[in-house]
Amino acid sequence: MTVKYKINELFETIQGEGAFTGQPSIFIRLQGCPVACSWCDTKHTWAINLEDEVTPNAMLTKEAESQTWSALTVKDILAMITAEGYQAKHIVITGGEPAMVDLLPLCQALETHGFSCQLETSGTFELQVSAKCWVTVSPKVNMKGGYKILNSAMLRANEIKHPVATEQHIDDLKALLAEHNIVNTQVYLQPISQKERATALAIKSCIENNWRLSVQVHKYLGIE
């Protein structure tokens, strides 16, 4: 059976977060997420409604955020990237929560065609990706959806990118790292907003703990 992925967006831009900040990237944004983060900036990707399915062209050319999506095979995705003339060789698979589905066929096909893959996930689902795929776990603690962060996801992470606005978020992260015995994985703190207080807390905590700062460069630049 051919796997079809529910794609909300597919576009080329600059990665603005984490270890690949500044990297030209093609974003594949999947529809669907039950985690329900209160500060999520892509809430339009949460629900999967059959009436929201649109054609691939309508998905690709929409001019505003919406919960519409298109079902694409791996072959469809590769053809769309080629047809659009995208030059980036780094693919970011995001959402929504992309780890809800088996991403191994997608990763393997992309890597066969010369792309590198990066997964952005909350760490609440078992990861089905290639061995080469760079995994960014952005752990969501005590969210409304009630999902637990999996030890397997934390141990697979190449980087941990933690949203932060309050001291409680710092305490949550430290407890999470201790619980899963995470020692050498690079940790990035990402202010939940561009507000001065959240950014100052992130900077202070990075210095105290030898973590790194991720400031969502794309938002400061005004790009997607």
C-alpha to C-alpha distance for 173 and 189, rounded to whole angstroms? 10
**Binding site, residues?**
14-16, 29, 33, 37, 39-42, 94, 96, 138-140
* Interval 5-21: pLDDT, tens: 999 999 999 999 999 99
Provide the CA 165 distance to its chain's centre, in angstroms: 19
The answer to whether 118 and 17 have CB atoms below 8 angstroms apart is no
- Angle, helix 104-112 to helix 74-84, in steps of 10 degrees: 40
- Find tokens 């105290």 and name the residue: 208
User: Is residue 119 over pLDDT 90?
Assistant: yes
* Interval 132-154: pLDDT, tens: 999 999 998 888 888 999 999 99
**Binding site for Mg(2+), residues?**
42
Percent helix / strand / coil, the chain, rounded to 5: 35, 25, 45
Q: Which CATH architecture has domain 5-221?
A: Alpha-Beta Barrel (3.20)
**Binding site for substrate, residues?**
14-16, 29, 94
pLDDT for the residue 70: 98
**Binding site for [4Fe-4S] cluster, residues?**
33, 37, 40
User: Is residue 194 over pLDDT 80?
Assistant: no
Q: In 10 A of CB 28, how many CB atoms?
A: 25
User: Is residue 82 over pLDDT 80?
Assistant: yes
User: Is residue 87 over pLDDT 80?
Assistant: yes
The answer to whether 5 and 72 have CB atoms below 8 angstroms apart is yes
pLDDT for the residue 218: 72
**Binding site for S-adenosyl-L-methionine, residues?**
39-41, 96, 138-140
* Interval 156-188: pLDDT, tens: 999 999 999 999 999 999 999 999 999 999 999
The token pair at 78 is 């590769």
Q: Determine which helix (DSSP H) or strand (DSSP E) holds 105, and give its type and residue range.
A: helix 104-112
User: Is residue 216 over pLDDT 80?
Assistant: no
- Domain range summary for the chain, segments of one domain joined by +: 5-221
* CA pseudo-torsion sign 79, 80, 86, 91: negative
User: Is residue 221 over pLDDT 80?
Assistant: no
pLDDT for the residue 187: 98
* CA pseudo-torsion sign 196, 200, 206, 207: positive
pLDDT for the residue 165: 92
- CA dihedral (72, 5, 16, 81) in degrees, to 10, reads -20
